[in-house]
Amino acid sequence: MFNQKVSRIALCGTVTQGCYIMANIEDFDWDALETKGFGEGYSAEQKAEMEKLYDGTLNEVHENEVVKGVVVAISDRDVVLNIGFKSDGLVSASEFRDLTDLKVGDEVEVYVEEQENAQGQLVLSRRKAKIVKAWERIQDALDNDNVLEGVVKRRTKGGLIVDIHGVEAFLPGSQIDVKPIRDFDVFVGKKMEVKVVKINYANDNVVVSHKILIEKDLEKQKMQILNNLERGQILEGVIKNMTNFGVFIDLGGVDGLLHITDISWGRISHPEEVLQLDQKVNVVVLDFDDQKKRISLGMKQLTPHPWDSLSEELQVGSKVNGRIVNVADYGAFLEIMPGVEGLIHVSEMSWSQHLRNPQDFIKINDRLDAVILTLDREERKMSLGIKQLTEDPWTKADLKEKYAIGARHKGIVRNLTNFGLFVELEEGIDGLVHVSDLSWTKKIKHPSEFIKVGEELEVQVLELDVDNRRLALGHKQLEENPWDTFESIFTKGSIHKCTLLSKNDKGAVLELPYGIEGFATTKNLVKEDGSQAEVGEALDFRVMEFSKEDKRIVLSHTATFQEVAVEKKRAPKKKPAQSAKPAGKPNVAEGEKTTLGDLDALTALKKKMESDEKNG
């Protein structure tokens, strides 16, 4: 009978299922149960009350949801949890490693994976419950703009990985701070507050930002700083960025630009020469724009201007030494002390008048001596000279003797003009060779036809004016004037072989013997066959005009055959030999013009007659 009672008790449930509602076994009416059957003998009201009591002991549990459970037992491997279901669930103890003080009776959240697996067990997971809850918190933070706290797990490409309640979120490097971060490793292992900016459930990707939180705080500070900002105000800041034109300084929520020209009174080529990143500096507010929120800062203004402390011993004529800090087309700037510069104009660099580009003469960072030419302390301007350190060549004692009229020298052609060329005989001493003094024989329109810049040319001094620093030179004067000889060679009426060099509408330029040039008009270029002589042809030309003073020779090819024809018509008919006049007395009609052609013919006739007399 007892065994029957025990088996009936087992029908009510097992101890592990939590069915511990025990009635007094001695008072239970087992006979009524045997005669009436299980569940019989109770009224409808009693059954409803019993069902209500039973339903109250169990919770409605669904898979894939997070529920709360109570720890009922703890072992080395598992933790037993009662979630109010018909059976308890087991969770691996490894999922509770973060709870070092876990004890029976504690309440924890778990994820229902399965209500009943193949072994009939309830499958729970605390790890998945944490993940589900974490995603819920992350979504809630995105929806409600809440701040989450996470731990930086590691560095990754382009940023950091932050653990937010078990979910790995990506923190881009640009969202870590308002200023550029150069070392991400310093954040690994540290807690950090972030805001969710993007969620991608498809890839389980979360993007967070720490910069947003800083910007909100900085915006408040920024408005406070801008409201209290005044010109001339001295502030402390930190250099956050450096460029070739200046540095950006963090003033505690607002950035200001310190231009490179306002860093130091002296010239610098890059801010890194005197400043470093993350360096704390004091600056003064030069100007600011409320609308654009731009602040211009200065550093050199915190120290006195170097011109104010310039020694009174420095006067016009004083010799100074410095470093070249800039070279321009018009000159160079010499820094004699930081912030104090003087201009060396290109005309003050050398006594030579042909120094065109200062960069060919001076380089940046060269150290030079110079002489102060002008000094204006109020305007803070100074002009300097280098050539004054050497003697002016035009004031040398032996100048008149060295460049006496008729003296010969060699120099370098430095410049060409339409009217002539300039020859540098020594530094600072130039002379002009007029285009008409280049050649006795050739008509040179431009000096470039005769010589090039940079070539050496021998010249003779024609005139010297020391007071006005002028020197007239000549090149053709090195030789005797050939026109004195040409006067006896190119006599009027003489015939010479000439070559046409060039032609135009007016006529042609001819090359005569000895390299001299002449001119023939167009009508005098007509050949015997009626055609025109062309460039390159070598023909006989008759001298029609010769002028030694103007160095001009006018010629004609047409006259060479026209006058011969005329002479033939005018010549008398030959008489019998016995009536011929004595030899050596040619017949020339009265009033007829003798030509060189006729003279040549008569000379040949005379020689023939003399030969006949000898033979007779």
Condensed to tens digits (0 to 9), the pLDDT of residues 577-596 reads: 444 444 433 443 333 343 44
Are residues 597 and 584 located together in one domain of the fold? yes
Report CA-CA distances (Å) from 331 to 98, 307, 328, 339, 363: 76, 22, 5, 18, 11
- Cα separation, 131 vs 152, whole angstroms: 17
pLDDT of residue 22: 41
Check whether residue 492 and residue 557 sit in a common domain.
yes
Considering only the C-alpha atoms of the chain, give the largest distance between any 2 of them, rounded to a whole number of Å: 206
Q: Is residue 43 assigned to a domain?
A: yes
Segment (H or E) for 135: helix 126-144
Contact 253, 225 (CB under 8 A): yes
**What type of residue sits at position 359?**
Q
Residues 487 and 474 in one domain: no
| Residues 537-554: b if buried by 16+ CB within 10 A, e if exposed | eebebbbbebeeeebebb
The tens digit of pLDDT for each residue in 267-326 reads 888 998 889 988 899 999 988 876 656 889 999 888 888 888 888 888 998 999 999 988
Residue 219 placed within a domain: no
379 and 342 inside one domain: yes
User: Is residue 600 helix, strand or coil?
Assistant: helix
pLDDT at 37 over 70: no
pTM (global) more than 0.75: no
pLDDT for 285-302, tens place per residue?
988 876 656 889 999 888
pLDDT > 80? residue 437: yes
Domain boundary, last residue among 281, 302, 323? 302
Q: Does residue 562 have a pLDDT over 60?
A: yes
Taking only the tens place, the pLDDT of each residue in 203-214 is 878 898 888 888
Residue with tokens 């000439």: 498
Residues contacting residue 186 through CB under 8 Å, at least 6 positions apart: none
Residue type, position 49, single letter: E
Secondary structure E strands in 126-279: 147-156, 159-164, 167-172, 191-200, 205-209, 234-243, 246-250, 255-259
Short-list 56, 47, 120, 52, CA closest to 87: 120
Higher pLDDT, 66 or 372: 372
CA distance 140 to 126: 21
Same domain, 385 and 418: no
Asked, for residue 135, whether it belongs to a domain, the answer is no
What does the block give as tokens for 227?
């409201």
* Domain end position, chosen among 302, 319, 334: 302
Question: Rounded to a whole number, what is the distance in angstroms from the first to the last CA of the chain?
Answer: 202
Domain match, 166 and 194 both: yes
Examine residue 12 and state whether it is found in any structural domain, yes or no. Answer: yes
The answer to which of 308-317, 334-343, 423-432, 598-607 has the lowest mean pLDDT is 598-607
223 within some domain: no
Q: Are 474 and 492 in the same domain?
A: no
Cα 46 to Cα 28: distance, rounded to the nearest angstrom: 16
User: Mean pLDDT score of the chain, rounded to an integer?
Assistant: 78
Q: Do 109 and 173 sit in the same domain of this protein?
A: no
Task: Output the pLDDT for position 614.
Answer: 52
Shared domain check, 385 and 313: yes
CA 64 to each of CA 110, 128, 136, 193: distance values in angstroms, whole numbers, following the listed order: 10, 10, 14, 30
Find out whether 283 and 298 touch, Cβ atoms under 8 Å.
yes
292 & 312 share domain: no
Query: In Å, how far are 178, 236, 499 from 224, measured between CA atoms?
Result: 18, 15, 95
pLDDT value for 515: 77
**279 lies in the same domain as 240:** yes
Question: Confidence band (pLDDT; 50, 70, 90) for 543?
Answer: very high
pLDDT at 350: 84
CATH at 192: 2.40.50.140
Residue 371 structural domain: 306-389
Residue 590 lies in a domain: yes
Q: Is the dihedral of CA 559, 564, 566, 567 positive or negative?
A: positive
Q: Which residue has the tokens 């090149």?
A: 475
Cα 436 to the center of its chain, rounded Å:
50
- The count of structural domains within the chain is 8
Share of the chain above pLDDT 70, in %: 79
Conformational region of residue 268, where left means phi above 0, alpha means psi within -120 to 50, and beta covers everything else: beta
Nearest to 33 by CA among 5, 57, 13, 6: 5
Is 139 part of any domain?
no
Q: Are residues 585 and 511 in the same domain?
A: no
Structure-derived torsion over alpha carbons of residues 64, 68, 74, 76, reported in degrees to the nearest 10: 40
Number of residues that this document lists for the chain: 616
302, 318, 350 - which closes a domain: 302
Extract the tokens encoding 354.
Answer: 């042909």
pLDDT of residue 541 exceeding 90: yes
pLDDT over 90 at 563, yes or no: no
